[in-house]
Amino acid sequence: MKHATGPAIHAVHPWDPGNPEKGERHQLLSDDERARLAKIAQIVRFAKGQEIYGEGAVADAAFNIIDGVVVAYRAEHVISFLYPGDLFGLSEEGQYANATRAATPVTAYKMPLAAIRRILANNADLDVNLIIKLCEELREAQRHAVLLAQRRAATRLAMFLGLQEHLQAARGESISEIHLQMDRSSIAAYLGLTTAALSRAFRALISRKIITSRNLHFVKVVDRDSFVRLADARPDGN
């Protein structure tokens, strides 16, 4: 278990030079800001598969992941995966805009939205940092839209694996293998595929000797050039 020292929000600064999709994620909060949020936060834990909140439920808290992976979905469609350092639970008109559940065992900070608003009212820097985080979430939504525009399942899978690899690198983790913490059904839903189509896509990349897989959760890229060509595809470049 990672040592928790207060809520931590990680993101790539949107105005940093270079490719934001491959940039380093920075800790956005100062020690003082983390200490302020820690005073209003409680640590909560969720079992794998447990719902955190439902779509349309009254929004009374935001969450900051300490450890584990959360899946966000709307109308049963998976829209994103959330990782340590991610913030979620922002609302629209007082209701959660999507639903979330724990894809793995999850430990998180739970912070009352009313208390967050009081802190934001007196801390402009923290407000800016939340905007930076929202910019990163917008980029994630744009990447997801590009991914879903691909016709071939193997291309969607390669793009997803490439994204997971970039996220691991941004967190300072080894990328000798790509670690897929979520289950295959969640990945299939995120990619807009059936689980059978996802399995065929994995087999296709393995048979073409682009990747190898030692189990359901660890993938290794063995043909980097072919992998990059697939992972960097665009809607007209399948």
CATH number of the domain at 81, please.
Answer: 2.60.120.10
Residue 17 has pLDDT above 50, yes or no: no
Is residue 147 within 8 Å of 160, Cβ to Cβ?
A: yes
- Judge whether 42 lies within some domain: yes
Give the domain range for residue 122. 10-146
**Which of 115, 146, 177 is at the close of a domain?**
146
Measured at the CA of 165, the angle between CA 159 and CA 167, to 5 degrees, comes to 105
pLDDT at 86: 84
The CATH number assigned to the domain holding 198 equals 1.10.10.10
- Judge whether 2 lies within some domain: no
pLDDT at 16: 43
pLDDT in tens, 159-200: 999 989 988 887 788 999 999 999 999 999 999 999 999 999
Beta bridge partners of 220: 212
pTM of the model: 0.72
How high does pLDDT run on average in the chain? 80
21, two tokens: 């999709």
Q: How far apart are CA 75 and CA 32, in angstroms?
A: 39
Instruction: Name the 3-class secondary structure at 180.
Output: coil
- Judge whether 34 lies within some domain: yes
Residue 126 has pLDDT above 60, yes or no: no
